[in-house]
């Protein structure tokens, strides 16, 4: 009984610091990874926006009902499709969000638990936004690439090749942004989980 008491008394400060130490070390480790992923998110979303914005291509295309040598100048650009407009809005917002949360992860993350919570909640919302924008733009790009013979939607990528390369790359970049957001959410969850051990 006495020995138990002695052990308890002696080990309290040690076990307390042992309880605190791995948590702090782990959260520092996660917060470094978190920072790197947030910078990657910023890079991916800003590149996606820039690549999509510079996709405009003008070609002289034949007019249906006229001989093939009668051609008019026609442009393909992202604001011809609501899916791409949504994409631009979503990825711009994500870029802005990633700037704010990168700054937050440098300055306050280890001190304020509430910041960790708010960022964890918002990461999930932005994942939903980025994933749906990727899906929408990916579906439209796929129709542009392959067409759909069942409903006679012709492919357009044989004419607007540069446009298609740009929108395809933008979709790939936003897929990367989505994957980064999945990992960020997982890290947030895991950091909270580690603290309740």
Q: Which residues bind a copy of itself (CB under 8 A)?
A: 64, 74, 76, 80-83, 113, 116-117, 120-121, 124-125, 127-129, 131-140, 142-144, 148, 150-154, 156, 178, 181-182, 185-186, 188-190, 192-193, 195-196
Instruction: Compare residues 138 and 168 and give the one whose CB is closer to a copy of itself.
Output: 138
Nearest partner of 167 among 144, 190, 149, judged by Cα: 144
Integer Cα distance of 169 and 54 in angstroms: 11
Instruction: Compare residues 47 and 163 and give the one whose CB is closer to a copy of itself.
Output: 163
Tokens representing 142 are 């796929």
Instruction: Compare residues 46 and 143 and give the one whose CB is closer to a copy of itself.
Output: 143
Instruction: Compare residues 103 and 146 and give the one whose CB is closer to a copy of itself.
Output: 146
Tokens representing 116 are 């960790």
Closest distance of CB 160 from a copy of itself, Å: 9
Beta strand residue intervals within the chain, DSSP E = 57-62, 71-76
Closest distance of CB 136 from a copy of itself, Å: 4
How many CA atoms, within 13 angstroms, populate the side-chain half-sphere of residue 191?
25
Closest distance of CB 109 from a copy of itself, Å: 14
Instruction: Compare residues 54 and 79 and give the one whose CB is closer to a copy of itself.
Output: 79
Integer Cα distance of 78 and 60 in angstroms: 18
Tokens representing 33 are 């990874």
Inter-CA distances, 103 with 71, 109, 120, 147, Å: 52, 9, 15, 44
Gyration radius of the chain's alpha carbons: 25
Closest distance of CB 191 from a copy of itself, Å: 9
Closest distance of CB 76 from a copy of itself, Å: 7
């Amino acid at each position: 009984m006495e020995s138990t008491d002695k052990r308890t008394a002696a080990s309290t400060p040690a076990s307390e610091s042992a309880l605190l130490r791995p948590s702090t070390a782990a959260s520092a480790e996660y917060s470094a990874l978190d920072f790197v992923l947030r910078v990657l998110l910023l890079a991916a979303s800003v590149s996606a926006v820039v690549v999509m914005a510079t996709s405009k291509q003008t070609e002289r295309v034949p007019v249906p009902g006229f001989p093939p040598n009668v051609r008019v100048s026609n442009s393909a650009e992202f604001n011809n499709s609501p899916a791409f407009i949504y994409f631009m809005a979503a990825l711009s917002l994500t870029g802005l969000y990633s700037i704010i949360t990168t700054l937050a992860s440098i300055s306050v993350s280890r001190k304020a638990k509430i910041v960790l919570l708010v960022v964890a909640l918002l990461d999930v919302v932005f994942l939903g936004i980025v994933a749906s924008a990727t899906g929408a733009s990916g579906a439209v790009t796929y129709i542009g690439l392959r067409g759909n013979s069942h409903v006679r939607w012709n492919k357009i990528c044989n004419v607007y090749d540069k446009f298609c390369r740009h929108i395809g790359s933008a979709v790939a970049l936003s897929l990367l942004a989505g994957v980064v957001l999945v990992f960020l959410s997982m890290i947030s969850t895991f950091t909270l989980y580690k603290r309740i051990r």
